[in-house]
Chains A and B, each alone.
Chain A
Amino acid sequence: MTEKPVLTLKDLSIEFPTPQGVVQAVKALSLDIHKGRRVGFIGESGSGKTTTALAVMQMLAEPGRVAGGTIDLGGTNVLDLDEDQMRRTRLSRVAYIPQGAMNSLNPVMRVEPQMWDGIIAHEGKLDRAELKRRSDAALESVGLPQHTADLYPHELSGGMKQRVCIAMGIILNPELIIADEPTSALDVVTQRQVMQTLKAIQSEIGSGLMLIGHDMGLMAQTVDELAVLKDGELVEHGTVQQILEAPKHPYTRDLISSVPLVGGESFLNPDARAKAPERASAEPLLRFEDVRKNYGAVTALHPMSFTLQGDTPQIISIVGQSGSGKSTMGSIMLGFNPPSEGRVLFEGQDVARMSAAQSLDFRKNVQAVFQDPYACFNPFYRVNHALKFPFKQFGLAKSDAHTQTAMEEACDAVGLDPDLVLNRYPHQLSGGQRQRLIVARALMLSPKLLIADEPVSMVDASLRASILSNIYDLKDKYGISILYITHDLATAYHVSDYVMVLFKGHVVEAGPPKEVIGAPQHPYTKLLIDSIPWPDLHRSWGDGRQDWDPVKLEAEAAKARSIYRGIVPGFDLQEA
């Protein structure tokens, strides 16, 4: 590679002065990005990947500053540019595609004038026909129909908005495109489509691409080179092939192994099967009788009936995209959200019609782990409040010392050091620690049923496997039945005894995971599985084909009949 690189970072250091002292966000990072190459920056939150990108754009948030090193953008030292020169450099030479496309577009402007803004700012006033020609060309290149130009952002779907952002980014043919987790808010099907668009357009204009992300699978399917960052340091850099096949740094190995594969090795330990606790009632643990949920005219959940016996602990997975009705099911089971029709029975008792005592008993026996570990703790209290309070409330505490030992045991069980975490405030803990504490909280109460609603989707990738195995162990060690709600088919494949695939409020395929996810038959399940990026270089996932059209595939899926696969004892789903 003799050509001059598009971007050269040399000994780049970035620091943030804070009350606790200066934080080194990026430490002596050196890296080249060549023309036409796609370089992935991978690392956990706080590893400095976004900070590096913002430094290239000279958009570091106050009080951060570049402490040392140089940023060379195709021969220009970015750090020497003044504010006005930098403004002209942005977009024309470096384009930035932000994380939340839904918030990046002006909601009161149509798409077209927003695209023109960039051109006018850099090239002065052009005539309307020329502007129109260029914005149409940009939209076409990201595979959006012409009429998109006249729409307002709220009329577009998340994936379309992200593609509009890409179109705006490339409209001036920049030398470098920086894409900061461009698909993190999108579901897998849309993610695949957006990444394909991005790859296609990048190779078309031949610019360098800096893709920031935390998903090893997505990286493997998208980029040519990978830079692994940890705590602001570049720990490993090489081609994807090198890194995936022979990772040198232990952190890289962790990242690769933390991606669960369908059919791959399980990350769970299969031993220690406990018996379910003796159940006093012969009634099934949980029963849905023709449960239906409407939000106004929209039916979020079509009538569904199933029975979870609960004599042997089982994990039932409910998978689907956002909007499939899976979280609605979760809140109906918890009694937060009454069903529009039908009944939910817990041990033979209608959840909606319970006396105060029965309700307290139901609360003790049905616990939950929610998606957002940041919101689950009251910021006013130390975290032990969240563990102590329910323990006392349900009359499980014999004395304060007993509560303390129970908390410490629960922390140990999820792999946390009780002395370190229990007396902290929530903001002092990481997302992973908080989510484990929520699992520990559930464990202390020893419920009969645990509803885990996307428990790991907001946690760093390297921690996902360990938190899931914490939850999995609950089932075996403590005999808790678990309903696992997720969009992640690979984890569902490993942890569950039975899988239901939801699509627009209907169950489209259900059965044991080895059959449903291992060998899908329903077109929708196939579509979902095809869309998951795996760290497997030989898969044709994001090869830039434009003929892969999820809209058409979804329409086909909607016509297909539901498929019921094998039966698992203890769980009975009634065929609709």
Chain B
Amino acid sequence: MEQYQYIVDILSYVCIGIGIFFWFWGTSHLTKNRSVLFKLHSLSVADTLGSMAIVFGLLLKIPSEWPLLILAIISLAIWNTMLGYVLAYCSSTRGDHD
């Protein structure tokens, strides 16, 4: 049991590390001179997938709070994706009503 705890701990830090790496990679594109849509692609890597990896790492660390953390993962995925769609839609269409 003891060494399993050790492995799970390392795995959770690896997940959080991957998440933070995604954050840095995705956010570094914000400073470049690209279109909004291109930045949106890299932000979806950083903010959705990176944050999901971080929350998953926390879930491995503290399994007793799983309902809250799973809710966090679900709302992260759904809301960030919808925000990406809405931002893409609103920033790209010009002048035409639907």
Whether A and B are associated in the same complex: the answer reads: no
Residues of B in contact with A (beta carbons under 8 Å apart): none
